[in-house]
Chain A
């Protein structure tokens, strides 16, 4: 029996097809990063569509972007950044055997996630009331183009902006909902004492997903909310 792996045999978290805990952890991480690569391409197609239409209809996009509450978007950015901090703190707590802190941080992450979705809901509600949702009741009449007070935005082009806005933020919000599901499970597993300083891979993998969703939002915020805001 190779002496180097002797200790590992007694670790119940180490699956038999891995040589060491380190290798098992690296394999999980690599798998997650490859999944995130597919996610980048998934969102990338939408960002590409956004770039093309923004290039064509810049003025209309600026007018439509200005109708969204940028302060709410900014607050949501801060909320997500705070949630990313609580995720790394939860992992740190697992690494250093601080069970109570780990549970509190996981709960806070979910609370921030729900806050984000709540603010998002308020934003969507405003857009519904203003008839800015693409479809039969869409209305965007006589809205001046930023920097050109004498010109009105083309409602058809503004509708394309709002279609992209709803699909991109909606897909992002869907990822948040999935993330909340993942973190509910992580919380439950942490409660059951599944994570130790030797084994906390699910926390790390779930954290990678959460941070990725945060990064998507970091780009969505300036691109959708702050196109042409200056007076």
Chain B
């Protein structure tokens, strides 16, 4: 038997569940307030916090013993960031590409 998470993990699971529901509610409420350019920032910050909670506690990344597995996850995020971030630097810095 694998005793990675001694005692009962139930309390953690229900707390994470509550935090995720709260995050959903906050996302919705924050979208109704005018924060100017910070609306998407807040929305993505909450979404990323929620995604981290799911990955760490529900997908058991926090207790993962395999370092190779953590490397796979880190490189996934790294390559996704290359795709999104480098593409957007190009589009944002070249106003002449805007189709009007």
Contacts and interface: CB of A to CB of B under 8 A. Distances in A.
Nearest to A23: B66
B21 A92 contact: no
B40 to A, nearest CB: 8
Given A40-B76, A56-B98, A214-B54, A82 B31 contact: no
Interface in A34-54: 34, 36-37, 40-41, 44-45, 47-48, 51-52
B54 A84 contact: yes
A81 B21 contact: yes
What is the interface of chain B mostly: helix, strand, loop, or mixed? Answer: helix
A51 B66 CA distance: 34
Interface in A50-65: 51-52, 55-56
A52 B46 CA distance: 22
A229 interface: yes
Contacts, number: 133
A152 interface: no
Contacts of A45: 83
B87 A33 contact: no
A96 B71 CA distance: 30
Given A37-B76, A212-B59, 19 more contacts: A29-B64, A29-B69, A33-B73, A36-B76, A40-B76, A41-B79, A41-B80, A44-B80, A47-B84, A51-B88, A56-B98, A78-B24, A92-B10, A211-B55, A211-B59, A222-B44, A222-B46, A223-B43, A231-B32
